[in-house]
Structure 1
Amino acid sequence: MSVAQTKTTINAVMHSPLRVLDPIITTAHITRNHGYMIYDTLLATDKDNKIRPQMVQDWKASDDGRTYTFKLRDGLKWHDGAAVTAEDCVASIKRWATQDKMGQLLTSEMTGMKVVDASTFQISMKEPSDLAVRALAKPSGVAPFMMPKRIADTPPTQAITQYIGSGPFKMVMAEFKPGVQVVYEKNTDYVPRAEPASGLAGGKKVLVDRVKWIATPDAMTSVNALANGEVDYLEQVPFDLEPIVSANKDIIIKVLDPQGYQTVMRMNFLHAPFNNKKIRQAAMYAVGQEPVLQAVVGNPKYYKTCAAVFGCEGPYASQEGADVTIKANPKKAQELLKEAGYDGTPVVILQPTDTPSVNSQPVVIGQALRAAGFKVEMQAMDWQTVVTRRAVQAPVKEGGWNIFATNNVMAEASDPLRAFGVAANGKGAWFGWPDVPEIERLRVAFSRTPDEAKRKEFAGQIQKLVIDEGVLLPMGQYYVPAAYRKSLSGALESPVPVFWNIQKK
């Protein structure tokens, strides 16, 4: 028997195969999940969404609230044995900030970022603001993972080719098969924080030797493998197969992310027909949340409809735009198309075929648009191809697109700064590239005020603009159960599936 076979290994099936390994160049959740395995973050959010120190020992603000000083905790090492330095962190923040919408806002609000000594750096702001702390604690979208400077100096338009972090696991490159499997081993040099693990914060204690992510051909294969003990953990239980999984006495089924997911529709502002505001509005009126959620989830105990862009029950929940977002209004859509002079330009919808959480939204959207009078062309492809294709700014005839649908964890969409989909700075925005300067002005105002009442007011104004301009369409909120065999214990509630704190007997 090989050494690898004698080691304690968690075999897991994730929601998607892993192919893209650079967590700074994509918002794809599977790449983010990979990031949390091998990298670490300076700050983190706990299960109550409170910001905690992670790689930093502490931070402090200057008396005028414009400068924040961050000091790294002792003993941090990269996987190659080198010490983590403030210089590494500054380089990592700079690369991350070019790609992340909250990072871009942070950069625009900074007057400078400098290394003080080997373990200390500072960020200075134009105005008093805690934006630096909020940004460095951002848990998802593009999370600010730390890398050695030589890797972080890779241009952000170019994927990194070395995967060296300081996190609790190391990637076993020799066993990586893109789209098939990825293997991680315990980082024996990692020193967890002393605090108990909570959400993405606290002590990341690895209690197994290895974690293997295995791709399966379909949902039923995954469920059967879990039932038979061939795998230990299923990140997302297919909703239609949940009764089968629940009936197995050897399996625990649980929602590990109580904040849940939001599913959204995104239109391309650059090209016809959605370079016309009225046609964007028509598309939004055409689509109703209930049909989408029924197709994606089915079981009402796992979903809810609501108008909120920033979460149904979050601190910035709003009813602005409810007449557009919740129920379909095909008659209104038809009226807007007529007013806009829609000429039958086909709407190309990207339809992933291999990822259950995003397979069905495009089908429902397509049906709704056809009913409203749109000409629709569905283009089927795997999810990783969608992830690549949606970055193309060229016209449809040159490989572009008009609509795609995706999901956000609410932890990455719970306020106007984290929610990368509401950024509206043209070609600097997320895929779809909306250009709405007033949204950007309000996001800056939100970042600068410490007054929570004012923040709620700004969030409501932003939501109104997001819906009116067609920046994105929230299509409802839902909650995804995970499943794991009773041989595992210690799975954490978190917006990201994490494998520290889990024991296997």
Structure 2
Amino acid sequence: MQTKKTSQSLLPAQSLVLMRRDLLGLAAASTVWCCGMSPAQAQQRGSAVNLAMIGEPQGLDPMVSTADLVGTVMQHVYEPLYTFDGQWAIAPMLAEALPTVSKDGLRYQIALRKGVKLHNGRELNAEDVLASLRRWMEVSPRGKAVAKEVEALTASGPLAIEIKLKAPYAPLLAQLALPTGMAAIMAKESLAPQIKEFIGTGPYKLKERRPDQFIVLVRHESYSARQEPASGYAGKREALIDELRFVPVPNVNTRIEGALSSLFHYADLLPVEAAIRLDKGAPAVVPIVTPNFGFPYIVLNTQEGVLAQTALRQAVQTATGQAELMAAGFGSPRFFTAEPNFFPKGTPFYADAGAKQYNQHNPQAAKEQAAKAGYKGQPLRIMVSRQYEFHYNIALVLNEQLKKAGFKTEVQVVDWATLVQRRNDAKLWDLFITHSGLFPEPMLSPPQLGDGAPGGWDTPGKKAALKAFNQEGDIARRGALWGRVQQLVYDEVPFIPVGKFNSFSARSARLQGYTPSIWPFFWNTRLAK
């Protein structure tokens, strides 16, 4: 194995020393330049938090990337028309209210909020929204899927737009609400093939980015907050902390030690084995378990290479033992469940379709399937990053399972930004490990259900099943149609669902008001003295 050199090569103590030096220097500088205030004003108001994330985002354009890390950072800078409340219901954000929908389900009239200020001081209008949505439908994997459903986008006033669909499309508002691959509303003058000026409407604005060191967001002083009570991502957002510093910390031990030493006010996605230390080790640190956080899954390359053949993907699925993979990734059952359904029992989209194809862990049957399909010992390239430690642990066990089934394998360990970049080139990999949040709308995740996502799944069966599912508005009938989609995933194997997990993170006891969430957000939080 070859691992790309990152800050992981430093020992935790060395990393902490360097990080503390850099962050102290940044803090001193921020006293002078934060929000354009004088030193006296900054000290009177000033508060800043260091947020240890799993790595460096490959970019800051939230439309282009479906990576959670990009969405987590940039949801503070940009806002969508709609978002999710604390019960995962759709709620308005930049839209004034939920849309008026025609009886045939084809026309969505959306009124915009008045007086919303962009970061450049100008007021948001319908032209900004239309230009942003058009760009989203051109460059975002999620936007491209929506674009196929849209007949026209027009302004129906200075603060109103209309979306006209070709056919009813039930997931539309949920697609517009998701923070990853975000339908972010941007100042129209900032739009470009590659965004250079990040001008949104969010409670924070971009101040500085130093790759592999930090991303600094500062308070948007003219932010236009909603007045409804905060709920999930919806309602009132307040920038109570002057400065958010997102620090890439790929080494998980450094994130743990930084949280325990109070260097970091928040440390994202820690391994479950750290729970004992954080539960008992320091009263200044608050462990965070976020239930039903998401699901890991294995993406298979349906476009190029060995696994372009369906029968060989089915052989890989037969070899896979998901229960063993989940135990490797998350240790204690406190943090995971191994079950075949994509959605938990009691939810509208629970289905047992494909259950017999889940957790087979049958190397002999897999070997026979592969031989029958003409497998000749070509290496399966498994791409993974250690920045999500559970990805790496899952990959190691998967590698052994595949070898027992007679597959030749090659594990490629890279940093997360490199993986996100390389997964878009189908010639470079055969499988990669990733994960997604667990959402109430199936079409939100994984991206492989849409168009243009890594892996390139695009078959007549997929198109037919998703067309029927997406055009059905009744939730009970949609639930039954989802079962067909789930069965198709197990039959055609564009990806292999592994299980469901709770995430484990930590915050300083001083960071108050934090709400556990899939994409951590830090508006409505404050730093106690």
TM-score normalized by the length of structure 1:
0.92
| Counterparts of 1:101 and 1:232, CA distance in 2 | 33
Q: What's 1:249 paired with?
A: 283
Alignment of 1:30-429 (within 5 A): 30-58=69-97, 59-137=99-177, 139-152=178-191, 154-155=192-193, 159-173=194-208, 176-216=209-249, 218-247=251-280, 248-256=282-290, 258-310=291-343, 314-393=347-426, 395=427, 400-411=428-439, 414-423=440-449, 428-429=451-452
| Residues 123 and 132, structure 1, Cα contact 8 Å, conserved in 2 | no
Report % sequence identity.
27
Q: Distance in 1 between matches of 2:384 and 2:106?
A: 46
Retained in 1: the 8 A contact 2:119–2:205?
A: yes
Structure 1 unaligned residues grouped into runs of 5+: none
- Residues 105 and 444 of structure 1 are in contact (CA less than 8 Å); yes or no, is this contact kept in structure 2? no
- Write the distance in 2 (CA, Å) between the matches of 1:468 and 1:422: 15
Name the amino acid aligned to 1:490.
Answer: G
Q: Secondary structure at the match of 1:116?
A: strand
- Which AA in structure 2 matches 1:78? L
- Alignment partners' CA distance in 1, 2:498 and 2:423: 19
Q: Which moved more, 1:465-474 or 1:18-27?
A: 18-27
Residues 57, 265 of structure 1: alpha-carbon distance in 2 compared, 3 angstrom cutoff: same
Larger mean CA deviation between 95-104 and 242-251 belongs to 95-104
| Cα RMSD for the two superposed structures | 1.9
CA deviation profile, 1:455-492 (whole Å, cap 9, x unmatched)? 01110000111110011100111011221111121112
Q: Helix, strand or coil for the counterpart of 1:306?
A: coil
* Residues 1:26 and 2:65 are matched in the alignment: yes
Kindly tell me: are residues 269 and 286 of structure 1, through their superposed partners in 2, closer, same or farther at Cα, counting changes over 3 Å? same
In structure 2, how many angstroms separate the alpha carbons of the residues matched to 1:500 and 1:100? 26
Q: Deviations over 1:320-353 (max 9, x none)?
A: 1122223412222112112112111111111323
CA distance in 1, matches of 2:516, 2:386: 29
Give how far 1:110 is off. 2.0
Counterpart of 1:54, as a letter, is M
Structure 2 CA distance, aligned partners of 1:382 and 1:328? 29
**Contact map agreement 1:263 1:407 (CA 8 A) in 2:** yes
Deviates more, 1:51-60 or 1:315-324: 315-324
Q: What CA distance in whole angstroms lies between the structure 2 residues aligned with 1:313 and 1:141?
A: 26
Indicate the SS of the match to 2:226.
coil
- The CA distance in 2 between the partners of 1:357 and 1:98, in whole Å, is 33
**Contact between 2:48 and 2:242, CA under 8 Å: does it hold in 1?**
yes
Question: Structure 1 residues 457, 84: closer, same or farther in 2, change over 3 A?
Answer: same
For residues 213 and 95 of structure 1, what CA distance do their matches in structure 2 show? 27
Deviates more, 1:447-456 or 1:56-65: 56-65
Change (3 A) 1:447 1:70: same
Q: Distance in 2 between matches of 1:325 and 1:99?
A: 34
CA distance in 1, matches of 2:373, 2:463: 27
**Which residue identity lines up with residue 93 of structure 1 in the other structure?**
L
Of 458, 461, 466, the residue aligned with 1:438 is 461
Q: Distance in 2 between matches of 1:348 and 1:198?
A: 43
What SS is found at the alignment partner of 2:173? helix
Give aligned pairs, total.
487
Residues of 1 paired with 2:224 and 2:287: CA distance?
Answer: 31
How far, CA to CA, are the matches of 1:100 and 1:135 in structure 2?
11
Q: Deviations over 1:269-299 (max 9, x none)?
A: 1223111111000111111112211221111
Question: Matched residues in 1 for 2:343 and 2:149: separation?
Answer: 23
| Correspondence for 1:467 | 490
Residue 53 (structure 2) aligns with: 14
Please state how far the C-alpha of 1:78 moved relative to its aligned partner.
Answer: 1.3
Amino acid in structure 1 at the alignment position of 2:522: F
Q: What secondary structure does 1:213 align onto? A: strand
Whole-angstrom distance in 2 between the partners of 1:354 and 1:108: 35
Cα displacement string for residues 2-32 of structure 1 (whole angstroms, at most 9, x for unaligned residues): 3457321111111222341111111111111
Structure 2 vs 1, CA of residues 129 and 355 (structure 1 numbering), >3 Å: closer, same or farther? closer
Aligned mates of 1:126, 1:270 — CA distance in 2: 29
Q: Matched residues in 2 for 1:121 and 1:216: separation?
A: 42
Shift in alpha-carbon separation, 1:323–1:431, aligned structure 2, 3 A: same
Alpha-carbon contact 1:100-1:420 (below 8 Å) kept: no
Structure 1: distance between partners of 2:170 and 2:186: 24
Structure 2: state its 5+ residue gaps.
1-27, 35-41
Q: Secondary structure at 1:265's aligned position in 2?
A: strand
User: Deviation at 1:448?
Assistant: 1.7
* Corresponding residue SS for 2:134: helix
